[in-house]
Structure 1
């Protein structure tokens, strides 16, 4: 059951990415530590592939929404596992786990087609004008 619109998902992508970029400051993580770098890498990646997704808030339509959601799920799982994979689970695991599980849930609950999807892919002509 996919209940999240692609437009809402796009807005959340940019906010989520910015929150991850700022998480080391907000959480007072020492700069350059694995926990700080994991959060910042996930945030930068999320913003980058959001900008490259073919949806309402994307800038360059290089990725389909299905590809974007697959990246959300895989990236979220990696972020959630990062405390154990990178060896900082005893110091700080909750933020990474929460952000990662949020990304997985968003990937599973978001619709796979933007509202304008059919219009963007149709050639110009009478059929496209009829759908407006």
Structure 2
């Protein structure tokens, strides 16, 4: 059941991405650590593909919502798995695991069509 509106999802995308991009220290991740770099890369990527999504808060409609949500699920799963793959210390695991699981849930619970309907996507002509 998908009940999260795409407009709310868009606002959360930018907030979520910004927190990961700018807040590793606030999340308890040492600056320059592998976990901090993963968090920052995930945040930057999320902001980028949010801006490229055809929804209310997107800037350039290059991706449709289904593609965006697939990226959320895949990226969230990778982010949640990152602490295990990096061999992170137990106290450094929670932020990436939490943000990753949140992204998976958002990807599974958000509606696949924006309220405004699809805009004209970029097409190679």
Q: Calculate the TM-score normalised by the size of structure 1.
A: 0.86
29-38 or 99-108, which moves further after superposition? Answer: 29-38
Q: Which residue of 1 aligns with 2:106?
A: 106
Q: Which residue of 1 aligns with 2:27?
A: 27
Unaligned runs of 5+ in 2: 121-125
Bigger radius of gyration: 1
Count of residue correspondences = 120
What CA distance in whole angstroms lies between the structure 2 residues aligned with 1:81 and 1:28? 18
Alpha-carbon shift at residue 91 of structure 1 (Å): 4.6
| 4+ residue segments displaced more than 3 Å | none
What CA distance in whole angstroms lies between the structure 2 residues aligned with 1:72 and 1:99? 11
Alpha-carbon shift at residue 90 of structure 1 (Å): 3.3
The answer to which structure has the higher helix fraction is: 1
Unaligned runs of 5+ in 1: 122-132
> What is the root-mean-square deviation of aligned Cα atoms in Å?
1.3
What CA distance in whole angstroms lies between the structure 2 residues aligned with 1:27 and 1:61? 32
5 Å-filtered alignment, 1:82-121, equals 82-117=82-117, 120=119
Q: Which residue of 1 aligns with 2:60?
A: 60
Alpha-carbon shift at residue 92 of structure 1 (Å): 1.0
Q: Report whether the alignment pairs 1:70 with 2:70.
A: yes
